Chain A
Amino acid sequence: MNRHDLDAFVACFQPDFDSQQPIHPDRHFVGSDQVRKNWTRMFEGVPDFEGTLLHAAVTPDAIWSEWDWHGTRTDGTPFHVAANIIFGVRDDRFAWARLYMDSVETEGLGIDVQLRNWTGKEEGK
C-alpha cells in the first residue's frame, strides 16, 4: 500500500474478497478486481498516499486494525481518513473485511451538535 504497488497489494486479497462498510451498506462489493479499481483511483487521486497502522491485533476470528490514511489530493487539498477495519483471513489472504472509516473533520461542530443530529432533539428538550 505504501509503495503504491497495486499487484502486491491485490495479492493480499482472496479473489472472492467480501468488503462491507456497515455504515454504508450500498458500498458492499465482492472481488479483488474491485479492490484493484478502488486503489487505482486512490493512488491516482492521492499521489502521496500513505497509510499508518496505529494498532492491530489478532483474535481467533479476525484481525482488528486501526489506521490513519493521509496525503494530498491532486488539487492540493489534504486527504485524511481515520479507519478501523476488521479483517477475516483464509489461506494467508484477506477473505473479508468490515470497514468503519470517515474523513477526519478539520472544523467539527462538537459533541452537542453530534447528539442533536443523532437524536433529532436540542439539549434539554
Chain B
Amino acid sequence: MTIIDQIIEAMNRHDLDAVIACVTPDYISEQPAHPSRSYVGSGQLRTNLGRIFASVPNFRADVLAEGMINDEHWIETRWHGTRADDTAFDLRGVMIFATRNGLISRNRHYFEPVEAGTDVTAGISSWTSSKQ
C-alpha cells in the first residue's frame, strides 16, 4: 500500500491522526490558481480536514485515476458527501504529491467545487474577458 493509498484510506475512515501520520510536519499545500491559499504545516491540514469531516459526516474521497510521474504521485480525485444542511459537497481535481522519507511532503492541487451552469463558450468568455 503506497502512502497515497494510506492517506486516502485514513480520510475515508475520518481518522485525523492517521491522516496526519502520512505527512511531514512541514507539509506544503499549494494551489497554483489560488496562491493565497498556500500553507505550510501539518497542523493546518488537521484543521482543514477536521472542519470537512465535521461538516460532511458521510465524506468520502475516491481516486479516479493515478500515475507515478518522475518522483511525484499524481491522482485525479473526487471528494463528495452531504453537508449537515443536506446540500451536496462535491469537489474534483488533480493532486500532485511529493514525498520525503516515505511521507507526503508537498501537495500541489488543481481542485474545485463542481459547478453547473455555464457552457464552454461562457467558460472561454470568462477567461478572455475581464468582466466576470
List residues of A whose CB falls within 8 A of some B CB: 19, 21-29, 34, 37-38, 41-42, 44-46, 55, 57, 59, 61-62, 64, 66, 68, 73, 75, 77, 79, 81-84, 86, 98, 100-105, 107-111, 114-115, 117-121, 123
Contact = CB atoms under 8 A, between A and B. Distances in A.
Contacts, number: 160
Interface stretch (B2-10, B12-20, B90-98): B90-98
B101 interface: no
A57 B73 CA distance: 11
Nearest to B48: A115
Interface string B76-94: 1010000101010101111
A102 B87 CA distance: 24
Interface string B4-40: 0000000000000000000000000100111111110
Q: Is the interface of A mostly helix, strand, loop or mixed?
A: mixed
23 contacts: A21-B120, A22-B114, A34-B120, A38-B120, A41-B124, A42-B127, A42-B128, A45-B124, A45-B128, A46-B128, A75-B129, A75-B130, A82-B32, A84-B110, A102-B34, A104-B34, A105-B33, A109-B36, A110-B37, A111-B37, A111-B39, A119-B56, A119-B83
Given A41-B124, A118-B113, A23 B92 contact: yes
A21 B117 CA distance: 12
A81 B117 CA distance: 20
Contacts of A118: 52, 89, 91, 113
Contacts of B113: 23, 117-118
Nearest to A105: B34
Interface in B97-132: 110-121, 123-130
B52 A101 contact: no
Contacts of A62: 65, 67
